[in-house]
Amino acid sequence: MAESKEIEVREAEKQELAQSGAERTRAQQAFVPRVDIYETDEMVAVVADMPGVDAGSVDINLEQSVLTITGNVNEKRPEGYTLAYAEYRTGDYVRSFTLSNQIDQDRIEAGVKDGVLRVHLPKVRPTSKKITVSAG
Amino acid sequence: MLSNPFNFRSSFREAERLRRDMNELFEMLDRGPRLSVAATYPAMNVWTNPDGAIVTAELPGINPEDLEISVQGDTLTLRGNRSADALGEGEAYHRRERGNGQFQRAFQLPFAVDAAKVEATYELGVLSITLPRAESDKPRKIQVASA
């Protein structure tokens, strides 16, 4: 791996969720998590940076072909301290994707570790057999 | 301070300025300090009290063993590495927004730190470093002896 590569400052920036038609019910600010999406023959994988989110506060929803990932963050404010200087804000995470593949909903797997959500969306295995048309 | 209490115009201005300052103060208490731009990755928040500070940074998906935290005087230095996922055969990225690579950041605190008592925790992708203020740096109360 390229060991000398450095993370750029812009990676530290959090993009606020743009206000869409529906308003949020939680008063907290919401952010768009940074994601990596990759595909294999069997599945589509979504990896999202959601610091502060644990397994209990994450929600994955697939409706029609729209995948929505939501992570609620309950910020832990250090007791007895006041925030004197801030470079980032904390808040929930929301992001939606339209999937182009047929996904096998029953086999979706997801896990959160160290603030990173990984969702594996297995593609529907082709069940139809190839039909040969015989001339005759 | 009112420069001249008998000058109506200037005291009006003073009152107006005071009102504005108060508004700003209340806004600050309500929402916290204004957002500053991070000099380098990662972004940091600093919480303080008279006895020290807690510095937090969002560093999702990091191996804590790859983090190097050092303190000297009033300067906190953070070094680390965020490695990329290794993709297997036949796997291709559609989107790649999560950064990876090395990072290093030095941060100056408003006081000297007791380096021996610094503690750091890494939970849910958030690093939190507790930095107690050095005893020698704390203000000393001076008793006035009556003669």
Would you list the domain boundaries of chain B?
1-34, 36-86+99-135
What values do phi and psi take at A52, rounded to 5? 95, -5
Q: Quote the pLDDT of residue A130.
A: 73
Contacting residues of A for B85, CB less than 8 Å apart: 36, 47
**Predicted local distance difference test score (pLDDT) of residue B28:** 59
Q: Where are the domains of chain A?
A: 27-76+84-122
Residue B42, preceding bond cis, omega within 30 degrees?
A: yes
The amino acid present at B145, given as its one-letter code, is A
The stretches of B2-147 forming alpha helices (DSSP H) are 8-31
Give the domain B36-86+99-135 fold.
Immunoglobulin-like (2.60.40)
Query: What is the predicted pLDDT for the residue at A2?
Result: 42
Check pLDDT > 60 for residue B127: yes
Number of H helices, E strands in chain A: 0, 10
**Number of Cβ atoms within 10 Å of the Cβ of A114:** 17
pLDDT digits over B85-112, tens only? 888 778 889 999 999 999 999 999 999 9
Contact between B38 and A87 using a beta-carbon 8 Å cutoff:
yes
Asked which of A53-62, B120-129, B132-141 is least confident by mean pLDDT, the reply is B132-141
Contacts of B33 in chain A (CB under 8 A): 83-86
Query: pLDDT, tens digit, for every residue of A68-112?
Result: 999 999 888 899 999 999 999 999 999 999 988 788 988 999 999
Q: What's the CATH class of domain A27-76+84-122? A: mainly beta
Report yes or no: B133 and B49 within 8 Å, Cβ to Cβ.
Answer: no
**CB atoms A114 and B96 under 8 Å:** no
Considering only the beta carbons, identify the residue of B36, B38, B85 that sits closest to A9.
B38
Examine the pLDDT at A1 and tell me if it is beyond 50. no
For residues B80, B84, B85 and B86, what is the CA-based torsion angle, rounded to 10 degrees?
A: -120
Tokens at B19, concatenated:
């009102």
Write out chain A residues lying below 8 Å of B94, CB-based. 37-39
Chain A closest CA to B40's CA: distance in Å? 5
How large a percentage of chain B has pLDDT more than 90? 55
pLDDT at position A119: 96
Chain A nearest-CA residue for B36: A87
CA distance A34 to chain B (A): 5
- Whether A5 and B49 lie within 8 Å, measured CB to CB: no
Tokens 């309950």 belong to A74
What's the pLDDT score for residue B43? 93
Assembly ipTM: 0.83
Going from the C-alpha of B3 to that of each of B7, B13, B22, the distances in angstroms are: 8, 11, 19
Identify the pLDDT of residue A61.
93
Shortest distance, CA B4 to any CA of chain A (angstroms) = 35
Question: Residue B5: is its pLDDT beyond 70?
Answer: no
Do residues B62 and B69 make contact, with C-beta atoms less than 8 angstroms apart?
no
Which residues in B lie closer than 8 A to residue A80 (C-beta atoms)? 49
- Mean pLDDT of the region A62-67: 90
Per-position DSSP letters for B13-48, written without gaps between them: HHHHHHHHHHHHHHHHHHH-SPBPPPSSSSPEEEEE
Q: Which has the higher per-residue pLDDT, B28 or A66?
A: A66
Contact between chains at B61 and A37 (C-beta distance less than 8 A): no
pLDDT tens track for B15-69: 888 888 877 666 655 667 888 888 889 999 999 999 999 999 999 999 999 999 9
Among partner residues A13, A34, A85, which is closest to B33 by beta-carbon distance?
Answer: A85
Task: Tell me the chain B residues in contact with residue A82 when contact means C-beta distances shorter than 8 Å.
Answer: 47-49
Q: Which of A2-11, A93-102, A127-136 has the highest mean pLDDT?
A: A93-102
Length of chain A counted residue by residue? 136
Give residue-wise pLDDT tens across range A19-62: 666 777 777 789 999 999 999 888 999 999 999 999 999 999 99
First to last CA, chain A: 59
Q: Which of B83, B109, B126, B128 should we substitute to test contact with A (largest number of A Cβ atoms within 10 Å)?
A: B126
- pLDDT for position B6: 57
